[in-house]
Amino acid sequence: MPKKTSFGVQIPFDGAEKKLVQIALDTPVSEQRDDQIVSYLMQHQHKVENYLGVVATTAAIAPLLGLLGTVSGMINTFMMMNTFGTGDAATVSGGISEALVTTELGLIVAIPSLIISALLSRKAKSYNAKLEANAIQISKFAMH
């Protein structure tokens, strides 16, 4: 059920738009009202973009962890080759397998994370731009 403002007007919006309309209806046209709208927009933008950095960081770190595993696997391979010689393929293949698996897992995590990060970033920017455009229109609304 839409909430009534101090004027008895029901606001048919949800979320951020609802809050912006409430500010516009409950506060007389002034610099203070505009400041409240801008402040709310900044808070809401921070809330929308809060965890985008986690996804982007995952996309950046995953290949590095894969590379770390590759280096570790190759070191194990060379240590086995040094200990047992190069004649036994089974001895060498374990380290190479470790190197390839960690590289693959790093890329399996990084590629979708990078795509998701780009899509979410674009969606958040688009949403915030629309919200700002709506806020500009709402700030021009004068009821008092």
Say if residues 50 and 58 touch (Cβ distance below 8 Å).
no
User: Is 6 within the bounds of a domain?
Assistant: no
pLDDT at 123: 96
Identify whether 125 is part of a domain: yes
101 within some domain: yes
pTM of the predicted model over 0.75: no
Phi, psi of 10, rounded to the nearest 5 degrees: -85, 135
Residue 99 lies in a domain: yes
Please tell me the total count of domains within the chain: 1
Contacts with 14 (C-beta within 8 Å, 6 or more apart), sequence order:
none
Question: Which range, of 11-25, 54-68, 100-114, averages the lowest pLDDT?
Answer: 11-25
Q: How many CB atoms are closer than 10 A to CB 31?
A: 7
Closest CA to 37 of 18, 50, 24: 24
CA quadruple 53, 45, 124, 48: dihedral positive or negative?
positive
In a domain? residue 26? yes
How far apart, in Å, do the first and last CA atoms of the chain sit? Answer: 25
**Per the domain annotation, does 3 fall within a domain?**
no
- pLDDT > 70 in the chain, percent: 89
Residue 81, domain extent: 12-144
Residue 95 is assigned to a structural domain of this protein: yes
Examine residue 100 and state whether it is found in any structural domain, yes or no. Answer: yes
Instruction: Indicate the pLDDT class of residue 1, thresholds 50, 70 and 90.
Output: very low
pLDDT at residue number 9 = 58
